[in-house]
Amino acid sequence: MKDKNKNLKWILIFLVIALTVLPASWWIIVRMESEIPELVVDLPSPEIGIEKKFQIHIQDKKSGLKHAWVGIFADGKESTLVEKKFPAAGFLQSGRTKTATLDVTIDPEKLGLQDGSAMLRLMAVDHSLRMWGKGNRTYIEKELVIDTRPPLIEILTKAHNINPGGAALVAYKVSEPCRESGVVAGENFFPGFPGGFKDPDLMLAFFALRHDQESGTELFLRATDRAENSARAGFAHHIRKRRVKKDTINISDRFLEMKMPEFEEDIETKSPTLIDKFLYVNSILRKKNKEEIQALTARSDAVLYWEGPFLRLPKSANRAGFADHRNYRYQNRSIDDQIHLGVDLASLANSPVPAANRGKIVFVGRIGIYGNVILIDHGFGLFSMYAHLSRMDVAVDDMVEKGSIIGRTGMSGLAGGDHLHFSVIIHQTFVNPIEWWDAAWIQNNITEKIATIGG
């Protein structure tokens, strides 16, 4: 009987240990985890301007967040930018908050900081019991540069005469490396590029006016440095008067029957009649196609691939000019108005099409009303476009020389007869190709300017 009681006693002792010591040990092991909090700084560049706002993302999936702190050290002093404490879920539990995002603002003037180097300091602590209850700690330092002064812009070219729908070149120098610089023309921006000069801060910017931008359009240079400080500088310019040419296009049933089947997949709403389909193609699809071309010409290589005047289709005659105001008529009534953003050149059917100048092929394919299209990037934001082709004999990323055959004329897209639609585009803006065919215009407006500043 005594042995039986003794065994029962040991069983009870074991149960007490199992029910108290083991859970306590498991709790200690869990609460003593050693994984440090994750800390991510959403700060793409180290330059800090007049004011910089960014976010800190912190996370601790195990013990939860306990304390976060962000400060800046500069001019021999440390300033707290953000500090936040996160409570525990209970006396014996980890933290409630597993993830958090902190909004941080650095305002050098309010903090009394001078331009120069600084150090961003960040710390995150969790609710772990390690380090005698102090928790796991993540500490990061990031070097910063405080720069509150905008860049200086020096205009190097003097004459900037430009037509509506025309182009021009301005050369300028910035006082420091900039995130972005270039010409603002109304609501359009034309980026500048390092011009290949010994001085890397010397820039060239080709810019343009839309066909409908006339005298009074605001033109100025803008430069934004890496700290987001921005400066403006006006430059002497003269905008000539706009000449508007009007043209009438008569739409026949024969034309509609021939061309509309090509656009069946482009028409989102099934129109009941051929003329309804034409109106959709000529207005809505035309607008979409223009936006597609603008997207393709938003970025350009920082290399001047081209040289000298551009070539035009040999032995060709102009069939339509740039910025012609076209009135479309059907059955003796006006049905639509559009602007022609190129020059139509007619020669023999399926004539070889030469590259107007040296450049890189950036697009080969179909673009709605323009049919089969080739786009060439000539560098520094300058592009040429060849449309209505029957054949395309190049591929994207091919380098082509001036005069090399890239395809053949045709009547793909909204073309009523075999011809080449040729466009010139400067960073998303269609301009008059005639200027780029003119050797004297190239010499006076581009070549001499580059030579004058030491190109």
| Residue pLDDT, tens place only, 441-454 | 999 999 999 888 86
Nearest-angstrom CA–CA distance, 190 and 205 = 7
Residue 3 has a pLDDT of: 60
Sequence spans of domains, the chain:
38-146, 153-239, 246-452
> For residue 159, how many C-alpha atoms fall within 13 Å in the half-sphere facing its CB?
7
The class of domain 246-452 in CATH terms is: mainly beta
Residue 427: alpha-carbon gap to chain centroid: 11
- Taking Cα atoms as reference points, which of 139, 73, 59 lies closest to residue 102? 59
Query: C-alpha dihedral over 436, 438, 442, 443, to 10 degrees?
Result: 170
90: which residues sit within 8 A by CB, 6+ positions away? none
Residue 244 has a pLDDT of: 83
Burial class of residue 132 (count of CB atoms within 10 Å of its CB; 0-12, 13-18, 19+): exposed
298: which residues sit within 8 A by CB, 6+ positions away? 427, 428
Nearest-angstrom CA–CA distance, 121 and 135 = 19
CATH topology of domain 38-146: Immunoglobulin-like (2.60.40)
The CATH architecture assigned to 153-239 reads Sandwich (2.60)
Which residue type is seen at 31?
A: R
Residue 327's φ and ψ, nearest 5 degrees, are: -105, 120
Residue 5 has a pLDDT of: 62
Q: Which tokens go with 142?
A: 């990031």
Residue 436 has a pLDDT of: 98
Q: Which residues of the chain have pLDDT under 70?
A: 1-32, 90-93, 454-455
Beta strands in 61-136 (DSSP E): 65-74, 77-85, 99-106, 116-126
Nearest-angstrom CA–CA distance, 259 and 51 = 57
Nearest-angstrom CA–CA distance, 357 and 384 = 9
Residue 9 has a pLDDT of: 64
Question: pTM for the whole thing?
Answer: 0.85
Sheet holding 116-126, edge to edge: 47-48, 137-146, 116-126, 65-74, 77-85
Beta strands in 265-419 (DSSP E): 317-320, 324-330, 333-340, 343-346, 352-354, 359-366, 372-379, 382-389, 391-392, 399-400, 405-408
Residue 455 has a pLDDT of: 47
CA distances from 325 to 160, 165, 328 (A): 27, 13, 10
pLDDT in tens, 66-109: 999 999 999 999 999 999 999 887 655 677 899 999 999 999 99
Residue 310's φ and ψ, nearest 5 degrees, are: -80, 150
For the chain, what is the total number of helices (H) and then of strands (E)?
9, 32
Q: 3-state DSSP call for residue 314?
A: coil
Residue 26 has a pLDDT of: 47
Which residue type is seen at 69?
A: W
Positive/negative CA dihedral, 338, 255, 251, 321: positive
Residue 439 has a pLDDT of: 97
Encode 340-379: b = buried (16+ Cβ within 10 Å), e = exposed. Answer: bbbbbbbbeeebbbbbbbbbbbbbbeebbbbbbbbbbbbb
Asked, colleague to colleague, whether 38-146 and 153-239 share their fold, the answer is yes
Residue 358 has a pLDDT of: 98
